[in-house]
Amino acid sequence: MYYIKKTIEISGAHRLELDYPSKCRSLHGHNWTITVYCKSAQLDRNGMIIDFSEIKRLIADPLDHQVLNDVLPFNPTAENLARWCCEQVPHCYRVEVQESTGNTAIYEADQP
């Protein structure tokens, strides 16, 4: 089994739809650190699982310097963002989304 890990930094704002009072219901920003983990038993014809630049294109291009509420069709919590990132990248099985120091959400796809 082959494994890769790609870490991406993006800047983005969001506001959370919450059913309790919170400052996070107001628009605010983060410098997010997103770590994408991929694995595959086979490599492509170039000897890769997936090109690191392709991971960046799939994640950073639609999200960097955006209001996440405007580009994502769900409440942009760190947990939901981690799941979305995992679903965008072929061979991805785990994503960690750090929205600030000490606050990280992790999503792991169900293994077949």
Per-residue pLDDT of 5-19, as tens digits, reads: 999 999 999 999 999
User: Is the pLDDT at 86 greater than 90, yes or no?
Assistant: yes
Residue 112's pLDDT band (cuts 50, 70, 90): low
CATH of the domain at 21: 3.30.479.10
- Detail the DSSP E strand segments found in the chain: 2-14, 28-40, 66-67, 92-100, 103-108
Side-chain half-sphere CA neighbours of 64 within 13 A: 11
pTM of the model: 0.93
User: How many folded domains does the chain comprise?
Assistant: 1
Q: Which domain holds residue 9?
A: 2-108
Q: Quick one: pLDDT at residue 103?
A: 96
Q: Quick one: pLDDT at residue 108?
A: 98
Q: Quick one: pLDDT at residue 110?
A: 84
Q: Which helix (H) or strand (E) holds 85?
A: helix 78-88
Q: Quick one: pLDDT at residue 66?
A: 98
Please state, in angstroms and rounded to a whole number, the distance separating the CA atoms of residues 96 and 7: 9
- The count of other CB atoms within 10 Å of the CB of residue 1 is 7
What does the pLDDT average to over 90-103? 96
Per-residue pLDDT of 28-83, as tens digits, reads: 999 999 999 999 999 999 999 999 999 999 999 999 999 999 999 999 999 999 99
Contact by Cβ (8 Å): 22, 77: no
